[in-house]
Amino acid sequence: MPSSVESRSSATQTLYSVNGSLEASRNAVHAVGEVSRHGFTDDDEEYLALLEQVWLMYYNDKRHESSGHPRIDKEPLPDWRMRERMKTFSAALVTCLNIGTDPPDIVKTQPCAKLECWVDPYSLPVTKALEQIGKNLQQQYETLSMRTRYKIYLDPSVEETKKFCAAQRRNAKDERVLFHYNGHGVPKPTASGEIWVFNKTYTQYIPVSLYDLQAWLGSPCLYVFDCSAAGNIITNFHRFAEQRDAENLRQKQEDPQFSPGPSQKECILLAACGSNEILPMNPDLPADLFTCCLTSPIEIAVRWFVLQNPLPSNLTIDMVSRIPGRLQDRRTALGELNWIFTAITDTIAWNVLPGPLFKRLFRQDLMVAALFRNFLLAERIMRHHQCHPQSHPVLPSTYNHPMWDSWDLAIDTCLAQLPAMLEQGDEHDYQPCSFFTEQLQAFEVWLGTGSASKKAPDQLPIVLQVLLSQAHRLRALILLSRFLDLGPWAVNLALSIGIFPYVLKLLQSPASELKPVLIFIWARILAVDGSCQQDLLKANEFNYFVQTLLNADELLATAQKLEHKAMASFILAMFTKDFKAGQVALLSAHGLMAHVLQNVQFDPTSTSDPQGDPQLRQWSLLLISCSWKDNGEAKWSGVREHAPEILVKALGDFIPEVRAAALVAMTTFLGLEVSDQVIELESYLALSSLSLSTDGSPLVRKELTIFFSHFILRYEGKFIVAAYELLQEEAAAAGGRAAPKKGLSSDSIYAAVWKTLLMFTADPYPEVEQNALAVVDRLCMTLCRGKLGPAVRKTFLQDFPPEAETLPQSYRSAPGASSAEDEASIARTGTNGYPSRTESHVELRKVSSLRSTLQRSVSIATSIKNLALGFPDPPTPTPEYEARPNQPPPVEASTTATVQQAPLARGMPAGFEKFEEMPSMPLKSTVLQWATEFFTEPQMKPDEADEPGSIDYNERLWRRTRNEDMIAQTQPLKSVAENNPWTNQSLGMLESPVGQPTTRLVLHQFEPHLVAADDRDGVTVWDWQQARVLHSFSNANPQDSRITELKFLNEDDRALLLTGSSEGVVRLYRNYETSNFELVTSWRALSDMLPSNRSSGLVCEWQQGRGHLLVGGDVRTIRVFDAQREISMHEIPARSGSCVTSLTSDQVAGQVFAAGFGDGAIRIYDKRLKPAEAMVKLWKPGPTSLGAWITNVHMQRGGARELVSSSVTGEVRLWDLRLDAHVREIQAHAGGGLRSLAVHEHAPVFATGATNHILKVWNFQARPLSTSRHYAGTGAASIFTHHARNPQAQSSSISALAFHPHDMVLASSGGGDTRIHLDKPQAM
């Protein structure tokens, strides 16, 4: 059985599973072949062992690709249930033989076929022969259906025919009636479709009109006509049926009380031959060949096989008529042939018939299904004798289907043992046929090669038949589970073919080896169709999964017990979902709640199994939620088992899906009848949930807003008071009055939740923001319409006059007055307090100003909304910058005119839909539906990208080859780079399309992508080789903030773009180079930024090998975010009063990192140590650079692994982690003003840019390779040239520098310039 994926880990294995990433592979070459700093070469064995690890990709999990939204393009679920199941209640078996007298219109051959129902009518007296034929006919039909009531009518008269037909319909009521007609002793049906019976004295043939027959038998009815020219009956039957329907319609119009009954078009007809055909007269075959095919198919099929066998054989007709065994015993020869015949005919019908027709003919009625299976045989045999059986509904031709060859082989295999069986009798050990084994093998081959086409496999009906055999059952179930794993389309096919009764019955089996596969199959069925709850409840079949969950160690014969427990939890969750009877039944399961709560818990410090099974924890929580919904008794059962405390612990789970599921369970818990204990419990849950307000996963934060919406709606009155009191506090501050006394909500959970929700209205993730705004808007409307409405208006008029000017008239009413418009507004409101759909957008505008004020009533919301977060706007730039050690480099404005541009597009999450109107409250969660989709996705086969030959796999293989070629080609260029000037061979210049100066640059390792960020929120992606813009978009950071970081993630494959902005937010984009770009995730990495005139904003360092993001800035700590867990794993004290200005780390082991600070210090940290002890080294600035702002600190990924730092006073230093002082110091820019530093990842070169317009390129031996100057303006003077050219031209500081990680390319931009310059060494 497959293993379920651990909550779809955020990391996905790539092709680089042997040598690690290409970047790490190159680093290994340098680590072994060159002398590296910091003693890294002393750890060669550990270092190279690390490279053998699987290289991981991050933020490409399902929760990032779907943003937690269920699929909307789900395949429609077919109606596989037999909601109109019918049965053939009774049967009239009519034989018109008139033995001894041949019909006048038939000339028989000599010799001629004589057997009727395997009886020779001339071997017995006429009366006894007729009775024996009738008796045999009934026995043959009884092998098809024992429940049908049979009545034999031998040579009836027309009066008798009318009488028994009316009696059949009267007794059957609305059920189906079978009318079997053998007309071998009467004339052929007439051209108008009349059939013949006798008069009372048997002296005349009397015709019976089909119109009369329809009236006597009614509908529904099943007709079998075994006579020559039977096709005339079918042709005329439709004509009379249409005539009767027209009469009924006319009578219905005349008399509305008239009930016409079922249409005759619903009748089913089987006829032996066409309109101009005569029945076969071969003496080796029975005269009623069509009836024998329909009622005794095995006997006639074996006889016909022997007659048609061209090879010499000792078998005789008499021998094959004595095949031992019973049809119902599959262990005997006759029973096995019947079993194989059923499987083959079902398979043929499944493959050639449309789904609805197959369901009607082969699944609705046992009698109809048996007759139509046998009708396929009749077509095959009778076509050989120039007869073409006909039916209504019409079936496609099946006589030449390839499965008939398998049937012939099965007969041949069985008959090969027949002489021995007849000779030895019961002592013979019958050897079963290999048919089912071979078909299972064929199905397995199809699963391995043909499943990608989504075409129904031919063997599917046979697999279901094999489930009846205990010998093949386990293998068949395993193959069936592999088929269902292909997706919902496969589950739909299996349900349509009739799998459900089989797997439902198997839940009664005690066999332990079947439990894992049955659990897997049921999980797939319920994931696609959750309507099976009543079926599981009828015979307490749900206990199968309850016992499996409670006693997994004893009952599950598999190594993946936790995964199958997760599936069992999912099955029970689907069983109780919106199903009260299921909740009650599950509540009676002793010990289940305690066991499920135990499954929620795990030990994160465990070394043997640190992750546990996230899928089990997630579905245990969702099972709790489904069983609690609107079920107070179940909730109290959970309280007795300490469920609230366990849910709170689950909020700290490492896996985002588990944390979200815990919030779903907490949301469902709300709603018990209010009491002091209930209020205390719900407040405890709400207070605990506040810890997730800074969670890095949008899925979790979005679910938190949904929990808040339920909590606020439940305690709406208390939240109105909290909102009003916060407004009064803000009003007092705005009016210069003393803060009011503590109110009723002060220091309460309601005020805390309200403040958190206000913070969420400025969340960087659009869905979280939208949810929070909807909840805030709703409460604001309730506040304004309530008793406090006049006081709110008065507060606005007195303390917020600028805002009051913009308020609608209803808010500018006199204080304390209740306007008619207010009353009309309230009247328009529904009973639930929400505005009508037509008024919702008006109400939203009304509360916008109030909401803005309420947001400012919370300090953190204020700083977020106004971009304050404690620091002021960037300092005003000056034409010339005088370097001061304690100041950061300036942010310069563009020296060129800003071109008016259309607004840039903002990246949105996948599936995001903006609210067109105010949603109903409380908000609805989609986590359960989204998580259910896991069980509809293939788990047994590799992902498409890991499947050799797939498009994704080939693309990855191509990218790997390209990446390796690029690394190989750039290796020899290191010596060129460190020994040649970089200024004489410019690659060109890129003009910003948004007209804003560039402040940040980054180049992709392998793609020709150059990403530039301007001094606002614009991001531009260039193809630097083609000098063309690929895409421009808005980062959506607030006004007056700026982008301070650009990074690439997953560069070995499909890269993501990371942006960090000065308000402390990190955003990740997918498809950043196209207009179809999407926001993968975003979160507020820094929420407690300190006010300072020396702002560095947010700085970060991405560690691809570890999946860690180091984040610092205007805070006192450095946070370590884990990409898989999407939470801050460590918060390391910076141990400095200055802001963090730069971060860098060892990219191989990923444990040691360095931080530069605004006071000139550099600190080294080790993540393996406790946070309080993580700082392992401090390099203080020298006397000449005391307090000098560290502009950059960077550790090379390859090469000599140099650690380089630069300060605003112009010094560049090289460091060794083992030493207490720098290794080398370079005075890059005398007089200070160093603006930027870039270090090549592999070549021993670095570049520095200064505020005095100078750009320099150096090697690590302190030798300057080039000195150049940036010129602003247009024309030739703006080209990146040697500083001696055009010295009078206006110049700008070098604000952005970036080396290509592999190629010898340098990108640079001036702070006041809108151009990006590209350069490479002279010798290239």
What does residue 206 show for φ and ψ, rounded to 5 degrees? -110, 125
Residue 270's pLDDT band (cuts 50, 70, 90) = very high
pLDDT at 1276 over 70: no
pLDDT at 267 over 90: yes
Residue with tokens 């705005």: 734
pLDDT at 92 over 60: yes
Nearest to 593 by CA among 544, 555, 644: 644
Q: List CB contacts of 677: < 8 A, sequence separation 6 or more.
A: none
pLDDT at 747: 87
pLDDT at 1094: 65
pLDDT at 790: 86
3-state secondary structure of 1130: strand
pLDDT at 438 over 60: yes
pLDDT at 1184: 64
d(CA 809, CA 1124): 51
The DSSP 8-state label assigned to residue 836 in this structure reads P
Residue with tokens 């039957």: 237
pLDDT tens track for 458-484 = 899 999 889 988 889 999 999 999 999
Q: How many CB atoms lie within 10 A of CB 306?
A: 17
pLDDT at 845 over 50: no
pLDDT at 699 over 90: yes
pLDDT tens track for 989-1043 = 777 776 678 899 999 999 999 999 988 889 999 999 998 999 999 999 888 889 9
Nearest to 1090 by CA among 871, 1319, 848, 1316: 871
**For the ranges 432-441, 882-891, 1067-1076, which has the lowest average pLDDT?**
882-891
Nearest to 888 by CA among 1251, 1283, 501: 1251
Q: How many CB atoms lie within 10 A of CB 36?
A: 20
pLDDT at 284 over 70: yes
Examine residue 393 and say whether the peptide bond preceding it is cis (omega within 30 degrees of 0).
yes
Structure tokens at 921: 């409250």
pLDDT at 831: 32
Given a contact cutoff of 8 angstroms between Cβ atoms, the answer to whether 618 and 662 are in contact is no
**For the ranges 42-51, 240-249, 301-310, 363-372, which has the lowest average pLDDT?**
42-51
Average pLDDT over residues 597-618: 75
pLDDT at 24 over 50: no
pLDDT at 205: 93
pTM confidence score:
0.86
pLDDT at 1280 over 50: no
Nearest to 276 by CA among 224, 222, 235: 235
pLDDT at 29: 40
Percent of the chain with pLDDT over 90: 54
pLDDT at 1058 over 90: yes
Pairing state of beta strands 1224-1227 and 1211-1215? antiparallel
pLDDT at 844 over 90: no
Nearest to 685 by CA among 652, 718, 647, 722: 647
pLDDT at 297 over 90: yes
Mean pLDDT rounded to a whole number for the chain? 83
Give the number of residues written for the chain: 1324
- Across 703-740, b (16+ Cβ under 10 Å) vs e yields bbbbbbbbbbbbbbebbbbbbbbbbbbbbeebeeeeee
Nearest to 22 by CA among 1108, 1057, 959, 1298: 959
pLDDT at 83 over 50: yes
pLDDT at 645 over 90: yes
pLDDT at 873 over 50: no
d(CA 1163, CA 419): 94
pLDDT tens track for 162-189 = 999 999 999 999 899 999 999 999 999 9
pLDDT tens track for 231-252 = 999 999 988 988 888 888 888 7
pLDDT tens track for 714-727 = 999 999 999 998 88
pLDDT at 840 over 50: no
Sign of the CA dihedral with 778 first, then 783, 786, and 792 last: negative
Pairing state of beta strands 1140-1145 and 390-392? unpaired
Q: List CB contacts of 888: < 8 A, sequence separation 6 or more.
A: 1094, 1095, 1096, 1141, 1158, 1189, 1208
Given a contact cutoff of 8 angstroms between Cβ atoms, the answer to whether 1205 and 1212 are in contact is yes
**For the ranges 216-220, 530-534, 937-941, 1126-1130, which has the lowest average pLDDT?**
937-941
Q: List CB contacts of 1313: < 8 A, sequence separation 6 or more.
A: 894, 895, 896, 997, 998, 1270, 1272, 1278, 1292
pLDDT at 868 over 60: no
pLDDT at 805: 41
Average pLDDT over residues 423-440: 87
pLDDT at 888: 58
d(CA 214, CA 218): 5
pLDDT at 903: 80
pLDDT tens track for 312-355 = 888 888 888 889 988 888 889 999 999 999 999 999 999 999 98
